[in-house]
Amino acid sequence: MDKNRVYFFDTTLRDGEQVPGCQLNTVEKIQVAKQLENLGVDIIEAGFPISSPGDFNSVIEISKAVSEPVICALTRAVEKDIDVAADALKFAKRKRIHTGIGTSESHIKYKFNSTPEEVLERAVKAVKYARRYVDDVEFYAEDAGRTDNVFLARVVEAVIAAGATVVNIPDTTGYCLPSEYGAKIKFLCDNVSNIDKAIISTHCHNDLGMATANTMSGLINGARQCEVTINGVGERAGNTSLEEIAMILKSHNDITLTSGINTQSIYSISRTVSRLMNMPVQPNKAIVGKNAFAHSSGIHQDGVIKNTTTYEIIDPKDIGLDTNSIVLTARSGHAALKFRLDHLGVNLTGLDLDKIYQDFLVLADSKKELNDEDILHLVGKDASKNQTVKINWLQASSGVGMKPHASIGLDVAGKSFEAAAMGNGPVDAAINALRQIIRQNITINEFTIQGVTKGSDDCCKVHMQVEYEGMYYYGYAASTDIVNASVNAYVDAINKIDDLIEK
């Protein structure tokens, strides 16, 4: 085994997918899993099988769909969880069970109402039980970040003796300082007698913005696996970003650690995950943000034109971002559109491609140049073709000295309806008109409108969260027309309500 090789354990489909409103269906998870395989991740955490039939099924289908990476399933230190995980992994060519228990004082006392000795015993029992099913068992010491190092070392030694092949040291609450987290990993390397029999893994959360720094500190101090997600998605402030760690290892020649990540696939999977999870990437996000390589100040532009290394430490091509890629306009053909879609991780052929191409020509007529976001919105628009509620037509008027009003024609489960209403602006009027037809008590909790580039011909993206009977639903749409985009995002959200029409 190469002692400098870092194993990438991607948990986008487990920890990342726990974000409310970002759940993916099995088909979408398979798409992400295939791209993760292409990206070169070593382990894919495919789900928490006991948590829902959907998760169980996704682990089965991902196991069938990918062959290179190890497929991992999460469990608590509970025999039933482990039985179900082993069953879900039955088709995986290479499989791992990830089991564990909270080890911090607070988890032991408040979560389990237990004692350190009892927790240690449960940890060992769970690892031994999982080893009856698979050879590769990872143990997580939940809240290890706030666990006393001496007790943590006892737990780690005991689970390795019980057969754990990987020991995961999660900073579950994102509390640790990089120096503290690194010292914890070093303490384990120095004080656990059988540590050479297992790989130590980092698993850092970003609550204080230190997930990447903590992960790097862990790796520098002896960890050889990092648990990460695409775009850093994950509960609360998220997990460590895969792309940040991969690019740190690639750019820093002073760190001798290596990985199997094909960094040129980073941009494409970042956009796929963002699109499927309805989670925009913040423009200034390191590595994959829209502005990560945009130099706007005159001094920077001047330097970059003379030589890119003056202000760029990463070549955009290294993450698969070809800044000189073909500009798409109304004169572009199928081939150019397909080239760009492939680049963005969307593989379409035949009639599917033709359909998107027609929509592309319509949008290209109203906007001179189409960028990646525009193209992705076209694909998202087509995905809505099976929706129960569809907008047949929409008209809205507003202006100085007049009351905004709108009228709308809807197709609801095959029947046509029309309505009109006033509002405090054209968007409000249009949604009020729609509510005359779909009368359920749906409230809008979040409504963000974001321009994609600049200029009055810009395409805007709308993200909306609605609430219905205590449940949250997310909608997304984009258009050069702000009223269209807003009403479409609302319709996208309400179409996700299962019993919308029955009531």
CB 107 within 8 A of CB 142: yes
The burial of 365, by beta-carbon neighbours within 10 Å (0-12 exposed, 13-18 middle, 19 or more buried), is given as: exposed
Q: Tokens standing for 48?
A: 């928490």
Other Cβ atoms within 10 Å of 200 Cβ, number: 22
Q: How far is the CB of 244 from ligand KIV (least distance, A)?
A: 18
Query: 3-state DSSP call for residue 362?
Result: helix
Q: Of 232 and 423, which CB lies nearer to Zn ion in the complex structure?
A: 232
Backbone torsions φ then ψ of 39, nearest 5 degrees? -70, -20
We find the least distance from the C-beta atom of residue 159 to ligand KIV, in angstroms, to be 14
If binding is defined by CB under 5 A, does position 142 make contact with Zn ion? no
Is position 17 an interface residue for Zn ion (rule: CB under 5 A)?
Answer: no
Contact flag: residue 171 with Zn ion (CB under 5 A): no
Calpha distance 421→448 (Å, rounded) = 23
Q: Decide if residue 15 touches Zn ion (CB under 5 A).
A: yes
Q: Which of 228, 292, 218, 287 is nearest to 255 (CA)?
A: 218
Which of ligand KIV, Zn ion, none has residue 428 at its interface (CB below 5 to 8 Å by kind)? none
State the Cα torsion 343-344-347-351 to the nearest 10°: -100
Residue 140 near which of ligand KIV, Zn ion, none (CB within 5-8 Å, type-dependent) = ligand KIV
Please say which residue, 15 or 372, places its beta carbon nearer to ligand KIV.
Answer: 15
Binding site for ligand KIV (CB under 6 A): 15, 140, 142, 168, 170, 172, 203, 205
List the structure tokens of 297.
Answer: 């100040």
Q: In sequence order, what DSSP letters do the residues of 406-431 get, joined into one string?
A: EEEEEEETTEEEEEEEE-SSHHHHHH
The residue (of 279 and 430) whose beta carbon lies closer to Zn ion is 279
d(CA 477, CA 474): 11
Question: DSSP string covering 288-332, please?
Answer: TSTTTT---SHHHHHHHHH-GGGT-SS-GGGGT--TTPPPB-TT-
55 is an interface residue for Zn ion by CB under 5 A: no
| 10 binding Zn ion? (CB under 5 A) | no
Length of the chain: 503
Question: Of these partners, Zn ion, ligand KIV, none, which one is at the site of residue 377 (CB under 5 to 8 Å by kind)?
Answer: none
- Residue number with CB closer to ligand KIV (203 or 405): 203
- The residue (of 114 and 251) whose beta carbon lies closer to ligand KIV is 114
Shortest distance, position 472 Cβ to ligand KIV, whole Å: 22
* Binding window for Zn ion (CB under 5 A); candidates: 13-21, 345-353, 455-463, 489-497: 13-21
8-state DSSP, 229: B
Least Å distance between CB 69 and ligand KIV?
18
Residue 329 CB contacts under 8 Å (≥ 6 apart), including other chains: 364, 368, 369, 370
Within 10 Å of residue 5's Cβ, how many Cβ atoms? 14
- Position closest to Zn ion via CB: 15
Q: Which is nearer to ligand KIV, 64 or 236 (CB)?
A: 236
Q: Is 37 in the site for Zn ion (CB under 5 A)?
A: no
Residue 23, contacted partner among ligand KIV, Zn ion, none, CB below 5-8 A by kind: none
Mask 408-437, x = binds Zn ion (CB under 5 A)? Answer: ------------------------------
Indicate the residue among 168 and 214 with the shorter CB distance to ligand KIV: 168
Contacts of 248 (CB under 8 A, 6+ apart): 212, 216, 255
Q: How far is the CB of 173 from ligand KIV (least distance, A)?
A: 8
142 binds, among ligand KIV, Zn ion, none (CB under 5 to 8 A by kind): ligand KIV
DSSP class per residue in 201-225: EEEEB-TTS-HHHHHHHHHHTT--E
Binds 367: which of Zn ion, ligand KIV, none (CB < 5-8 Å by kind): none
By C-beta, is 95 or 98 nearer to Zn ion?
98
Give the residue with the Cβ less far from Zn ion, 15 or 138: 15
**Contact residues: Zn ion, CB under 5 A:** 15
